Amino acid sequence: MDAIVLLREDHKTVEKLFKRFEKTSEGDTAERRRIADEVIEELTVHAWIEEKFFYPAAREAAPDTTDHILESIEEHHAVVWMLSEIKDMDPADERFKAKMTVLMEQVRHHVEEEEQDWFPEVRKAMGRNRLTELGGELEAGKKQAPRDPLAVPSADSK
């Protein structure tokens, strides 16, 4: 599978989880916890494979995207930090829903920038064969990616 197609599929998966979370009722803390745990795993894996495989390849193929990539890495850092807080938070805590809402806003902004602003540039620069090869690397990377946001190295330690 093409790397950009794979990343867009991840984005769709997370968006479906966000919509499920938004439909939960105030008292449904067990369901909110389940959804939050799925979001944590999906976003942790996604951020890790992007930073480990996709961003370096994109930066090499399309140097003009470097600023977008550096901004995305910082957005990931903020998201992973929020995920680590949500992971240990009681879903009955009055701030749980608010924290998830802010997370969703940040992720939606990040996804919009990636998909509209620079994925097209990367697609043009890489071409089908390289994107398919990179997609295989991303799929393999998902198997070894951490599921716990606390296991993801910070942008500053790379």
Can you spell out the DSSP letters for the chain? --HHHHHHHHHHHHHHHHHHHHT--TT-HHHHHHHHHHHHHHHHHHHHHIIIIIHHHHHHH-GGGHHHHHHHHHHHHHHHHHHHHHHTS-TTSTTHHHHHHHHHHHHHHHHHIIIIIIHHHHHHHHHHHHHHHHHHHHHHHHHHS-SSGGGSPPGGG-
Q: How confident is the model at residue 151 (pLDDT cuts 50, 70, 90)?
A: confident
pLDDT at 154: 58
**How confident is the model over 4-23, as a mean pLDDT?**
98
Each residue of 49-102: pLDDT tens digit?
999 999 999 999 999 999 999 999 999 999 999 999 999 999 999 999 999 999
- On average, the pLDDT of the chain sits at 94
